[in-house]
Structure 1
Amino acid sequence: MSYASKLPYGLRKEGDSEVLLHISEILPHESGLRCNCVCPSCGERLQAKLPKTKEDFTPRFAHHNSETCDYATETALHLKAKEIIEEEKRMVIPRVVAHYNNLYKEVTPKREVTFDRVVLERRVGNVIPDILAYKDSRPLMIEITITHGIDDEKFKKLEKLGISTLEIDLSDMDTDFDPEFLRNQIIDSLESKYWVYNAVEEKEKECLKEEYLQIQKKKEEEERKAEEKRKWLEKVREEKLKDKAERIEKLLDSNYQLILKKRWEKDLKMDPIWIKASKGMNISLNTVPEYINVDIPGEVVFGCDRRVWQAYIFYRYVNKKVKLFRDKTFPITVKRILENVKEEFKGRLNYDLVYMKDVAGYNDVPDLTQVIYDYLKRLQEYGYLLELEAGHIFYSKFIVLDPDSVYEMRFIPTEMSEYKKIENLMKNSEWDECKELIKELLLKYSQKNHPKYFDALAYLFDCVIVRSSGRILLERDF
């Protein structure tokens, strides 16, 4: 910013000293050359330009019979700032914060300091600061910046001296300023004050540096240990997988499975899960239904005779539901059965076969999830379940059916006027007529106006298609 246009200060000799006067301090009768002021920079005579009214123009000094001096205002501000500090002998200084990388610490808060003495432009080493202020014999160098700040060369000198240096930057000051505003900016305000160098900050920065290095050292040590642990765990995992592969190979050996199955068959009669399920279904080893003794690939994962785990699943998820809820049963899921099996058969499952995706070469061997799903699919063939499509077998759902009832009718509201007609067609296996009727009813009961009827009919239509295709065989059809 150029300060030449409005010069607010003039220098006047009073006795043996020179006094820096603001234009507001010039009396009306001292206007023009009668102010007896000279330029603080070039020394040329000044005129005091005082307006007759407030609206005329801003009061100011102007050079008489000479070109405008470019550095007049800059020099005046510089002198006035030093004069104010010398008079006040106090100042509010900014807080001191030490930084090192991502660490920081407030060394001292902002505070007001009263100086013991203030010296102007005294050489300190190879530097001449604008102001040298002392507090308890400790020096503080103060630099007043108007147009040119502290360059790198001067900063290096200050840093080498090791004396705290504060910069007061007045470069954004408007030339039309009030003297009290300038005093406030220099003494009480923090807006224009910056630490160029602070000895206490540098000392604390060294402490932060040491702390940072310790943190980094600890972090590197932790990373080293973590890497060692990772490698160790990887080695252990590889060894476990190798051992697991050997155990899987043994469990999949047909001769070994024959030995296991004989042992399990011997223990079957006293098995608590079998006893509970067989009593609940009123069956014995001599009257085991075909659907509770189905050969399922991978069933060795259960670690027991197939009649135990198949009786458990059929009794808990099919038989009990049909007895309790008849035509109002809800779907069963592979996910829920898997969770319950893991809990109920805890300690007897062959855990190496529960999940084998982590061992190369066994992706085609059925795991526990697959074995459960395959058994449910076989129950579907016997007419006890109906699968609802899912993205993965783990999330597959099956509707529990009662082979002795028209199970599809469970979802049709009985208040529907066509209920009896549909039921008769279903009972008589008149599938083609049933499909045509349902098509008509889907048009009659739109999803928008009759969502309950529409959804039930849509589901029934799918069931009729399945029934008519012969994919589900009911016990009464045998």
Structure 2
Amino acid sequence: MIETGCQTGRETGIHLRAKQLIAERQELVIPAWIGDFVDMPNPPHARDDEGRLHWGRQIDCPARLVGLRDIEVERSFGTYQPDVYAQDGLGELLIEIRVTHAVDDGKAARVRMQGRRMVEIDLSHLHRDTPHDLAAFEQVVLFDPANRSWISCPEAVVDWHASKQELDEQIAARNKEIAQQRDQLIKAAKARREREAQETKDKDGRKAYIRRREREKHAGDLAQLAGLTSPARIERILREYQAIAEERVSSLLDSAPPAVRSACLRAVHGDAWVFGVDPALWQLLAYDHFVTRRSAGDRFNQRDVASWVRHSFPYEKALYRLFVAQYANRAEARRAGISKHRLAYWVFTDEENDRIPNFYTPINDFMDRLESARLIRRLAAPVGECEVLPPPAAGWPVAVVGAGKALSGNQSGLLAL
């Protein structure tokens, strides 16, 4: 009981001294107005009908030192009585000193309803030695902006509501635009459906509809096609690939027999650049993976080589997707009994079909050169099956492989998806 009494007496003393100090010094730092995170965020914000977040104007009300006059302690306002009443440059200012109890909701509501300003200074966490240090006590009571907050700041609230109104008007205008755009899209979609329905009434219209629908699936890749396959770009990236791989290619060639050098360097198919690396490097590494590291008589399939090259290097994925579409269309035509040799997809233009590189012919060409150099032997079945040959007893021959060799039928071991 004695300790409780001492504590109560200490709190009462702090409360009294703080009020007296404000009355004597006639100055006070009032806090910044920061709004309320839930009900009155500063700046105000809201989302439009598309879910996009919009921000209003921030209310700038920083902490500042104000002079006080006409100060009264414990002035009564009928239903409530602030600790200190004063006037500053903006008019009435009510000051509450919190030592044990904060301003209750009822009192705060009455102050706000009457449009008065009220600040609360929180001394509830005051260090026990601070009241005995006059300078420190003056600092926390009069000048510390961190221990005080607004209970009611009508000017800031009015300004906030004005900002919120401006924001609401902006969002309303944006929502109107969104509604108009959606209406336009609905009308456009309806018109498109009507047009498509008309197109499907006859064979030509149906074909045009299917072609347009199928092209939409590849629209992104087709948009990149011309840029990815321009001669200038191919020439540039081949130079870059060669410069990047030069040291590693040189190291691999130093330990390679003449026949391997010939097979990997003498002839390179025109589409060999699509795998995102110097063609000499991917061929040397493919030879090392499928031949050097295997024993004579071991078998592998050209499909395995194609898959390994694509998964080992940063190939052009957009071009590969277009190539797969071409390949799948030809396979579908053959299954339907249509004899088709050209690798082309009817929904692409002739120019687009000609631009799309073939991802299999560089592999087929490479395997041809390995066979010509007597490093591997193709088997009759299954398609694309190869066998590793032992090194010749008389030493490695130098295979001379001509560029632009024609590939067709079983001779080329044509890869299949």
TM-score normalised by L of structure 1: 0.46
Q: CA contact under 8 A between 1:145 and 1:168: conserved in structure 2?
A: yes
Residue 328 (str. 1) matches residue 277 (str. 2): no
Residue 114 (str. 1) matches residue 67 (str. 2): yes
The aligned residue for residue 409 of structure 1 is: 368
Q: CA–CA distance in 1 between the matches of 2:326 and 2:205?
A: 15
Deviations, residues 420-449 of structure 1 (Å, cap 9, x unaligned)? xx7xx88xxx969xx99934549xxxxxxx
Q: CA–CA distance in 2 between the matches of 1:189 and 1:437?
A: 84
Q: CA contact under 8 A between 2:30 and 2:66: conserved in structure 1?
A: yes
Q: CA–CA distance in 2 between the matches of 1:90 and 1:213?
A: 39
Distance 1:83 1:377, change over 3 A: farther
Q: CA contact under 8 A between 1:90 and 1:114: conserved in structure 2?
A: yes
Distance 1:378 1:224, change over 3 A: closer
- Determine which of 171, 174, 185 is the counterpart of 2:124: 171
What does residue range 344-355 of structure 1 map to in structure 2 within 5 Å?
Answer: none
What does residue range 326-475 of structure 1 map to in structure 2 within 5 Å?
Answer: 328-331=268-271, 370=329, 378-379=340-341, 397-399=359-361, 408-411=367-370, 414=373, 418=374, 438-441=387-390, 467=411
The aligned residue for residue 362 of structure 1 is: none
C-alpha deviation, 1:111, in angstroms: 1.2
What does residue range 47-446 of structure 1 map to in structure 2 within 5 Å?
Answer: 68-98=5-35, 99=40, 101-102=44-45, 103=56, 105-136=58-89, 138-177=91-130, 178-246=133-201, 248-249=203-204, 328-331=268-271, 370=329, 378-379=340-341, 397-399=359-361, 408-411=367-370, 414=373, 418=374, 438-441=387-390
The root-mean-square deviation of aligned C-alpha atoms, in Å, is: 5.0
Deviations, residues 100-158 of structure 1 (Å, cap 9, x unaligned)? 54245233222111113321111135321100111247110000011111111111111
Q: CA contact under 8 A between 1:90 and 1:112: conserved in structure 2?
A: yes
SS of the residue 2:146 aligns to: coil
Deviations, residues 181-236 of structure 1 (Å, cap 9, x unaligned)? 11100111112101011011121122123213212322331232122122112112
Distance 1:412 1:189, change over 3 A: farther
Count of residues paired in the alignment: 268
Q: CA contact under 8 A between 1:145 and 1:171: conserved in structure 2?
A: yes
Q: CA contact under 8 A between 1:97 and 1:105: conserved in structure 2?
A: no
Name whichever structure is richer in strand by fraction: 1
Q: CA–CA distance in 2 between the matches of 1:408 and 1:107?
A: 74
SS of the residue 2:151 aligns to: strand
Q: Percent identity?
A: 19
Q: CA contact under 8 A between 1:115 and 1:133: conserved in structure 2?
A: yes
Q: CA contact under 8 A between 1:97 and 1:104: conserved in structure 2?
A: no
Q: CA contact under 8 A between 2:93 and 2:119: conserved in structure 1?
A: yes
C-alpha deviation, 1:250, in angstroms: 5.4
Distance 1:172 1:413, change over 3 A: farther
Gaps of 5+ in 2: 46-55, 215-264, 275-316, 344-355, 392-406
Q: CA–CA distance in 2 between the matches of 1:229 and 1:410?
A: 60
Distance 1:201 1:466, change over 3 A: same
Q: CA–CA distance in 2 between the matches of 1:69 and 1:149?
A: 21
Q: CA contact under 8 A between 1:107 and 1:204: conserved in structure 2?
A: no
Q: CA–CA distance in 2 between the matches of 1:231 and 1:70?
A: 73
Q: CA contact under 8 A between 1:122 and 1:129: conserved in structure 2?
A: yes
More displaced 10-residue stretch of structure 1: 187-196 or 240-249: 240-249
Distance 1:374 1:187, change over 3 A: same
Distance 1:327 1:154, change over 3 A: same
Deviations, residues 293-314 of structure 1 (Å, cap 9, x unaligned)? xxxxx9xx9xxxxxxxxxxxxx
Q: CA contact under 8 A between 1:144 and 1:169: conserved in structure 2?
A: yes
Q: Which has the larger radius of gyration?
A: 1
Q: CA–CA distance in 1 between the matches of 2:79 and 2:185?
A: 59
Q: CA contact under 8 A between 2:59 and 2:159: conserved in structure 1?
A: no
- Amino acid of the structure 2 residue aligned with 1:329: H
Q: CA–CA distance in 1 between the matches of 2:19 and 2:104?
A: 21
Q: For CA contacts below 8 A with separation 6 or more, give which structure has more relative contact order.
A: 2
